Amino acid sequence: MYRGREGQWAFVLHRLSGVALALFLLLHVIDISLVMFGPEGPFNAFLAFYHQWPFRVGLVLVMAAVVYHAFNGLRIILMDFTEWGVKYQGALWYGALGATTAVGIPVLWKIVPEILGIA
Amino acid sequence: MASAPKTYQAARATYGASGELVWWVFMRISGLLLVFLVFGHLFFNNIQIDAGTIDFAYVANRLSQPGVKIYDTFLLAFAMLHGINGLRYSIEDHVRKPGRRFWTKVVVFSLAGIVFVLGTMTLWAFSYDEMGAAVRALD
């Protein structure tokens, strides 16, 4: 397997997170659309199903994908529209990873106790 | 595509006046907007509250607010266009056989069309004021 440097990993993660988010978006719009069936419809039962811990962990992974994709997307915009973006793309990628971690830690601090039921 | 163009000038040179240049620019503009729209969406529904408590009453209450409907309409439109165009890039890169590529796109675009209509209906076709009142009447 070819092991590239930062740029390749940035691309692979951007592609994987992007495809995952697009598929999640389709699923998410479909599940929220169940609200159209009204208060006596299947919405509450469906949501209770999704509140089980494996799905909540999945939701945390979706959020991680969002945050990485957002910060790496900003890196791509800087690479495309500034004179210096491409030159510093490696450093910018570490910046994107750092920003993802910086946002991720307080989010996990808030949500993990909810999932464990000790909030 | 072998490798994506890295600058706006390179994108112009590669795509010329074709629709691909428009999509290339759209992905960057919508991407920047989505950073704010999606972060806001996650903040409202996962940070301000415990997402594990979301139920019909919560969603109906949100969807009865005009501001939320408009916010979510922009979110839906930009996220769908950005996401489905991204899926199209991925299909064109990874699904190599022409026939299979064509049918993969047919399935993805059809599904996306249905989901977009479903999402727009969810936002605009019903009065959740009345539905929310019905829920409160149950309590």
User: How would you label B38-59 residue by residue, b for 16+ Cβ within 10 Å and e otherwise?
Assistant: bbebbeeebeeebbbebebbbb
Q: For residue A92, give the nearest of A110, A73, A113 by alpha carbon.
A: A73
DSSP A85: T
Q: For residue B64, give the nearest of B114, B21, B126 by alpha carbon.
A: B126
pLDDT of residue B82: 98
Tell if the CB–CB gap between B31 and A30 is shorter than 8 Å.
no
- Domain ranges for chain A, please list them: 6-116
ipTM: 0.94
Read off the pTM: 0.90
CATH number at residue B28: 1.20.1300.10
CA distance B69 to chain A (A): 13
Please answer whether residues A7 and A89 qualify as being in contact, where contact means their C-beta atoms are separated by less than 8 angstroms.
Answer: yes
Domain A6-116 has CATH 1.20.1300.10: yes
Phi-psi region of A106 (alpha: psi -120 to 50; beta: other; left: phi over 0): alpha
Going residue by residue through chain B, which has 139 residues, state the pLDDT in tens, using 9 for 90 and above: 456 777 777 877 777 667 888 999 999 999 999 999 999 999 999 999 999 999 999 999 999 999 999 999 999 999 999 999 999 999 999 999 999 999 999 999 999 999 999 999 999 998 887 776 766 676 6
Interface of B with A in 62-121 (CB under 8 A): 63, 76, 79-80, 83-84, 86-87, 90, 111-112, 115-116, 118-119, 121
- Looking at the 3D structure of chain B, how many domains does it have? 1
DSSP A36: G
- Which range marks the domain in which residue B69 is found? 8-138
Q: Using alpha carbons only, what angle is made at residue A117 by residues B41 and A54, rounded to the nearest 5 degrees?
A: 65
User: B3 in a domain, yes or no?
Assistant: no
User: B2 in a domain, yes or no?
Assistant: no
Chain B residues with CB inside 8 Å of A70's CB? 34-35, 38-39
Tell if the CB–CB gap between A29 and B6 is shorter than 8 Å.
no
Cβ neighbours, 10 Å, residue A79: 20
Using CA atoms, how far residue B99 sits from B42, B94, B102, B105, B111, in Å, is: 39, 13, 5, 10, 18
User: B121 in a domain, yes or no?
Assistant: yes
